[in-house]
Amino acid sequence: MTDPMPGLTGPRARHGSTLGQPLTRRDGVLKVTGAARYAADNHPPGMLYAVLAVSRVARGRVTFLDVEAARAVPGVVEVMTHANAPRLATDPDEKTNPFAFRLNVLQSDRVRFPNQPIAVVIAETLEAATEGAERLAPRFDEEPARAALDDGEVFTPAVVGAGSPADVAHGEVEAGLGAASHRVEATYDTPAQYHNTMETHAVVAAWDGNRLSLDLPSQALAMTQMRLGQLLGIMPGDIHIRSPFLGGGFGSKAGVSGPQLLGIMAARLLGRPVKLVLSREQAFGPVGHRAPTRQTLRLGADGEGRLTALHHHTRTATSSFDDFYEAASGASHSLYASPAIRTSHDAVRLDTGTPTFMRAPGEAPGSLALECAMDEMAEACGMDPLAFRLANYAEVEPMTGRPFSSKALRECYEQGAARFGWAGRPLAPRQMRDEAGLLVGWGMGTATFPALMFQGQARAVIRADGTGLMETGAHDMGQGAWTALAQVAADGLGLPIDAVEFRAGSSDLPDAGIAGGSAHMATAGMAVHEAAAAAIARLADLATGDERSPLFGAGNAGVVARDGRLVRRDDESRHESYADILARAGVAEIEGRGRAARDPAAGADYAMHAHGAVFAEVKVDPELGQIRATRLVGAFAVGRVINPRLVQSQLYGGMIWGLSFALHEKAVVDRRSGRVMNANLGEYHVPVNADVPPMEAILVEEHDPYVNALGIKGVGEIGITGSAGAIANAVRHATGTRVRSFPIGLADLLA
């Protein structure tokens, strides 16, 4: 059994469907009162505290650890090093699937990146463990670090991102460039970025024989359970992971991380529950990051401003020991029409932790570079940036010729531009000033993100008292899954939302797929929808097949579920409550199971993407170079909107992330040591409130019959795309300076 959210109270039900209603977060009160229990809030009896010691060198071997000194600290119970760490059933360096990242869990003395765990000190108190970890005074046999994109040997990876080919071409790019009247070739640099989830990676692990109980924030419960089963040599079903809330994941909590596995190993070693929580600084290394990119775009356009060729090349980096390649060029696959498109990647290996998926992986840096290059080309053609994008509007997916399942991008451009007041924007840069004399610039960018879907399952129950239960192992990372999925459940079950108990966030529930790829609502939502439909169908069978029911003979399709009753479609005066149907049939409850997956035929026939248009205004001090975004308007076509309040929050969050990408975020890496020099939230800048301008996110109506039956496309990542480019382009428009290295800082604008 899983604990439902303790003390959960939902808002009052509304008449009609809950779909499309802007319900407030059902877990909001728990969050603001501190009652929401995150992984690290758990303290099972007898629990010990584990603290990591991490490497300061980027490459080499651990030659000495003063284990004696650490053990001598009162309260220290054990020091786990490569000498005594439990061996695992499956080598953590074995690549069991492309998403199983290699883990550094004290299986050897080898150091492969700064902040790699080199020991775990376990103690009765956090303080003793911390002190023990300090006493270890490690020594290393150090080898030179490879820290920057220029430091490694360049190679072409087999696949990039989640398994896309590294180099794809359609048409003749060189010929297209040769024939062009205007050409743009430009290189854009984006830095390494770290997820910096508010909640750092944590685990509370308790073993009972070969059964394992975990409090562990997870974006992928079933996948994590499976991987842990392999690594630990136990049945996945014997692992119970509770993950009711995540303090952000952004891709870094999609699998078990090395440090979390170490906590689990420590608990096994000692036979007592163990808690391990990463410090902020320790999260800069072993739990993933977004790799730096250097992107070169080559564009050709004819005299009418239509693209003749588009080549998007990305150089990126992975770790010395594993493979993940930021697929930034992918952003150019499907957005703009061009007779010739090539997207290519190459990479170097650096002594860093392995990069991984980070919110809008590939698309975030890729869209930034593409939107800047499009802006540069618009300028070369003497065209308004929006007019130029419209001139290159892709009516079909350019590289495949497939139709889009739906694409209301034109409406996004129209509504966004109108709301922003884009018309009348001077073509030339550095033309606008505000009353205080600050330079004003307007820029735009197109937003796009694939409408993905994974496989997921759910289980619905209608109980004797007429209430419902919906179970799915979905994940609430703060995006609002507790609320939006419950809305789908209530709608499907024909019940007010308060009459449905909704369970999620636990591995003993049906696998809801992963919360990633902006696909969780589509995946888990469809599973919930299908499960509800299955339960209602069985209920309808009971009623319509029973002569004593007022619904007898209506046929399964002849009834609808509404407010806890089945109602005859052709005669609304004939209806029966769920409780009555079950009571008469003498059934305690009925169950429905749902499975979600993309319809393979639709997936093959149609290109599926969400779209949007973002318009930005920035102000720049003409002498001091200090930049501030002052307005952001986005218009997004994201298919069906289940909860506009939550969707808007997601889009705002994405747009702020885009602002952060353009103007703030950067891991400052010391070229010699490979260490991140700003591994704290004071100096790793993300926007503060004063940086965030007034924003609007317009939801453009879009009906998509192909993506899935609910018409959901996903909103978690698209807000970043378009926004970063819009801001960069606005800076250019304000100042006349085109900055191609991100984040843009005041020093870039001091000319």
Query: Shortest CA distance to 428 belongs to which of 15, 201, 734?
Result: 734
Among residues 3, 23, 12, 13, the alpha carbon closest in space to that of 649 is found at: 23
CA-angle at 405, arms to 404 and 408, nearest 5°: 75
Check binding of 94 to other proteins (CB under 8 A): no
Select the span of 249-257, 395-403, 493-501, 690-698 touching other proteins (CB under 8 A). Answer: 690-698
Structure tokens at 565: 């009753």
Q: Which of 1, 423, 604, 747 binds other proteins (CB under 8 A)?
A: 747
Assess 621 for contact with other proteins (CB under 8 A).
yes
Report if residue 687 touches other proteins, rule: CB under 8 A. Answer: yes
Which of 426, 553, 694, 705 lies at the binding interface for other proteins (CB under 8 A)?
694
CB of 126 to other proteins, least distance (A): 10
Site for other proteins in 324-353 (CB under 8 A): none
Q: Which is nearer to other proteins, 588 or 668 (CB)?
A: 668
Task: Choose the binding region for other proteins from 99-107, 156-164, 258-266, 743-751 (rule: CB under 8 A).
Answer: 743-751
User: Do 457 and 510 contact (CB within 8 A), yes or no?
Assistant: yes
Cα 213 from Cα 471, distance rounded (Å) = 20
Closer to other proteins by CB, 350 or 470: give it.
350
- Among residues 124, 126, 122, 104, the alpha carbon closest in space to that of 113 is found at 104
Nearest CA among 634, 641, 632, 613 for reference residue 701: 641
Q: How far is the CB of 740 from other proteins (least distance, A)?
A: 17
Residue 690 engages other proteins in binding (rule: CB under 8 A): yes
**Contact residue for other proteins among 31, 37, 56, 430 (CB under 8 A):** 56
Tokens of 240: 């119970």
Among 436, 547, 570, 703, binds other proteins (CB under 8 A): 436
Nearer to other proteins, 275 or 631 (CB): 631
Q: List the one residue out of 65, 67, 215 whose CA is nearest residue 138.
A: 65
Residue 280 near other proteins by CB under 8 A: no
673 binds other proteins (CB under 8 A): yes
625: contact with other proteins by CB under 8 A: yes
Identify the residue among 1, 428, 604, 688 touching other proteins (CB under 8 A).
688
Q: Mark whether 379 is an active-site residue.
A: no
Torsion over CA of 375, 380, 382 and 386, rounded to 10 degrees? -20
List 78, 199, 326, 717, catalytic entry: 717
Minimum Å gap between C-beta 124 and other proteins is 14
Other C-beta atoms closer than 10 Å to the C-beta of 340 total 22
The stretch among 19-27, 510-518, 571-579, 676-684 that binds other proteins (CB under 8 A) is 676-684
Contact 500, 468 (CB under 8 A): yes
601-603-608 Cα angle (round to 5): 145
Distance CA(479)–CA(459), nearest Å, equals 22
Cβ atoms of 250 and 217 closer than 8 Å: no
Nearer to other proteins, 32 or 235 (CB): 32
Whichever of 601 and 747 has its CB closer to other proteins, that residue is 747
Q: Is the peptide bond before 743 cis (omega within 30 degrees of 0)?
A: yes
Q: Which of 174, 677, 701, 705 binds other proteins (CB under 8 A)?
A: 677
Task: Tell me the number of residues near other proteins by CB under 8 A.
Answer: 45
Write the CA distances from 133 to 136, 266, 414, 532, 646, integer angstroms: 6, 14, 58, 51, 42
> What strands lie across the sheet with 60-64, from one edge to the other?
110-111, 60-64, 139-142
Among 664, 713, 732, 733, binds other proteins (CB under 8 A): 664
Q: Using the minimum distance from each CB to other proteins, give the nearer residue, 399 or 667.
A: 667
Binding site for other proteins (CB under 8 A): 56, 127, 130-131, 133-134, 436, 438, 617, 619, 621, 623-626, 628, 630-631, 633, 663-664, 668-673, 675, 677-678, 683, 685, 687-691, 693-696, 745-747, 750
Indicate which residues carry an active-site annotation. Answer: 717
